[in-house]
Amino acid sequence: MKMATRRWGVAAALLAVVVDQATKAWALAALWPPYSEGIVLLPVLNLRLGFNTGVTFGMFRESAADAVWVLVAIKLGVVALLGWWLWRTRLRAEALGLGLIIGGALGNIIDRIVQGAVTDFVDAHYAGWHWPTFNLADVAIVCGVGLLILASLRTPAARPSRTDRPGEPA
């Protein structure tokens, strides 16, 4: 049972990385030059190429640009902790959530290593206000966090107790 749960998480991580990197490759080819108008999809959604040298939402852009390898190391450490959690979980929703977060993080780590910045291209906006441009790795991370929250809301009776787990001491 535990191995099947892990497979769900690993599959989610692989899918997130592949979809993220494929869409970023498309964005780099189709949306050049960066920071132009891009493609209007909806009145509130554009595809517009940009690069994030900062941390989340471009915060600390100036100081983080010189610390690419520090950011990569920190993110790899977080991915390792999430992988450890994935390896121990018995809940499919939790495994899927962790897999999406891991895959999204790895997709952005690949960008930092290859380009020194994360490729972003989804521009949500309304009435002149723009949400920070993001990518599908970010979408995977947010969906993964949502799944973790949903998994945590399960009633305690629905979760396996330590005495219900075969092979583990009570």
> Catalytic site residues?
120, 138
Kindly state the DSSP code that residue 58 receives in the 8-state scheme: G
Between helix 136-152 and helix 92-115 the angle, nearest 10°, is: 150
Cis peptide before 33 (omega within 30 of 0): yes
| Cα–Cα distance list, 123 to 90, 112, 153 (Å) | 37, 20, 32
CA 89, CA 10: separation in Å to the nearest integer? 12
